[in-house]
Amino acid sequence: MLTTGPRGTRDILPDSSGYWQYVEQVIRQVCRNFAYQEIRTPVFEHTELFLRGIGETTDIVEKEMYTFNDRGKRSITLRPENTAAVVRSYLEHKLYAGPQPVKLFYIGPMFRYDRPQAGRYRQFHQFGIEALGAKGPAIDAEIISLAVDFLNRLGLSDLRLLINSVGCPECRPVYRTKLQDFFREKLPHLCPDCQSRYDRNPMRILDCKNENCAEHSQGAPHMAECLCDECNSHFSGLKDLLTAAGINFELNPRLVRGLDYYTKTAFEIQYAPLGAQSAVCGGGRYDGLVAECGGQPTPGIGFAVGIERVLLALEKQALLPVLTNSIDAFIAPLAEATQAKAFEIVTELRKAGFTADMDFMNRSLKAQMKYANKYPARFVVLIGEDELRQNKVMLKNMETGNQELIDKTSLIHMITEGMEK
């Protein structure tokens, strides 16, 4: 137990943390480009926030939350997603009092007690976007285009953008009744989950992964047939904007999404080669969530991308960058007596802005050269006892193989010159 992490968690080791830094750098660039600012909220919140925000009958709340009482007997939950927490922060810090819309992004770990498999973990990371305060379809189009742009900048192709409208509290009850009428006779044939969804949230039957349920929902009425005028014109507006921007999309009337806060626009971006966990991005509009959390009615829309899934997709398409760990200089003390000098030199080089390291293991000359080559190091600075006495060092250019005995005082100058060549 002590040498294995909890199921569904993963360590990001030094040989792959560079891939994460690369993806995070692209996230920051695209968000800057689209004028979204970073928000960082805590990884745990009051449980009540997620019960109210995500919905008590969702899979996330019913089965997947890490909930516990803290020592003060308050119920705390590790965030399973971040939209509700961003809304909480928006209200707590009165971000609604500033210029609208408030355009935010976040990167961080989320926690769901899911069944772990490739692309599905118990601790995973999301890059998310939330735009609060704007109600027209233009902001929907903006955030969808941000998601697509982000994935394209990474070089990903073969992506499918699926969109749907899930209506609003005005038109959804009409659809709900229609769906219940449709499923009434099929009810005994549906899975136990769908049987309980029938009363509580019949729309979720439409995206049940059970093959039998999927078969029984063939021919179910579509939300599009029941949309009220406002939802209808919002959805047409979005489709027009996406078309004008040259963003390909598919209409998917079964796209329901697993969180209760969605209204109007719902969308997902899928990368098929990932198989069962093909959704790399999911999002939608949540015009009722701010009021549900105690604020004035305020429209909102956002998405979240699963960073692990994006990395899997990049790996599959051979799009991961080549990572380099190279350094400018490696300082090789050739006797114990020269260790202190090596430390003095490595400190000076680092202060001058170079990437530098030294030997800490009292290795032989051969072993030190081998170690320096692994980085690789551009220069090796050798210090033997003779050099120490003369206040000189042997500077070896690892690219050319040339080496030169130089005054210690001209080392920085020589390395700078060598680097520029």
Binding residues (CB under 6 A) for ligand HAM: these are 81, 83, 112, 114, 120-121, 124, 126, 128, 130, 258-259, 279-284, 286, 302-304, 306, 308-309
Residue 172 vs 408, nearer CB to ligand HAM: 172
Q: Is the peptide bond before 14 cis (omega within 30 degrees of 0)?
A: no
Q: Which of 6, 124, 107, 143 is nearest to 60 (CA)?
A: 124
Q: How far is the CB of 293 from ligand HAM (least distance, A)?
A: 14
Residue 126 vs 298, nearer CB to ligand HAM: 126
Q: Are 301 and 284 in contact (CB under 8 A)?
A: yes
Shortest-Cβ-distance residue relative to ligand HAM: 306
Q: How far is the CB of 365 from ligand HAM (least distance, A)?
A: 48
Q: Are 292 and 261 in contact (CB under 8 A)?
A: yes
The residues, any chain, with a CB within 8 Å of residue 22's CB and separated by 6 or more, are 320, 321
Residue 103 vs 216, nearer CB to ligand HAM: 103
Q: How far is the CB of 107 from ligand HAM (least distance, A)?
A: 12
Q: How far is the CB of 106 from ligand HAM (least distance, A)?
A: 10
Residue 313 vs 398, nearer CB to ligand HAM: 313
Q: How far is the CB of 343 from ligand HAM (least distance, A)?
A: 44
Alpha-carbon distances of 8 from 12, 92, 113, 309, 336, rounded to whole Å: 13, 33, 8, 14, 46
Q: How far is the CB of 111 from ligand HAM (least distance, A)?
A: 9
DSSP 224-274: GGT--HHHHHHHHHHHHHHHHTT---EE-TT---S-TT-EEEEEEEEEGGG
Q: How far is the CB of 219 from ligand HAM (least distance, A)?
A: 26
Q: Which of 200, 147, 166 is nearest to 27 (CA)?
A: 147
Q: How far is the CB of 32 from ligand HAM (least distance, A)?
A: 20
Residue 282 vs 299, nearer CB to ligand HAM: 282
Can you tell me the distance from the alpha carbon of 296 to that of 337, in angstroms, rounded to the nearest whole number? 71
Q: Which of 315, 347, 317, 319 is nearest to 331 (CA)?
A: 347
Residue 217 vs 270, nearer CB to ligand HAM: 270
**Which amino acid, 143?**
I
Give, rounded to a whole angstrom, the gap between the first and last alpha carbons of the chain: 52
The residues, any chain, with a CB within 8 Å of residue 182's CB and separated by 6 or more, are 219, 220, 221
Can you tell me the distance from the alpha carbon of 295 to that of 94, in angstroms, rounded to the nearest whole number? 10
Q: Are 132 and 101 in contact (CB under 8 A)?
A: yes
Residue 197 vs 264, nearer CB to ligand HAM: 264
Residue 284 vs 288, nearer CB to ligand HAM: 284
Can you tell me the distance from the alpha carbon of 293 to that of 291, in angstroms, rounded to the nearest whole number? 5
Q: Are 257 and 285 in contact (CB under 8 A)?
A: no
Local structure of 69: helix, strand or coil: strand
Q: How far is the CB of 283 from ligand HAM (least distance, A)?
A: 4
Block residue for tokens 């009810």:
187
Residue 306 vs 333, nearer CB to ligand HAM: 306
Block residue for tokens 């990572």:
323
Q: How far is the CB of 309 from ligand HAM (least distance, A)?
A: 5
Q: How many residues does the chain have?
A: 421
Can you tell me the distance from the alpha carbon of 92 to that of 98, in angstroms, rounded to the nearest whole number? 13
Residue 80 vs 333, nearer CB to ligand HAM: 80
Helices 137-153 + 14-33 axis angle, to 10: 140
Residue 9 vs 210, nearer CB to ligand HAM: 9
Q: How far is the CB of 288 from ligand HAM (least distance, A)?
A: 13
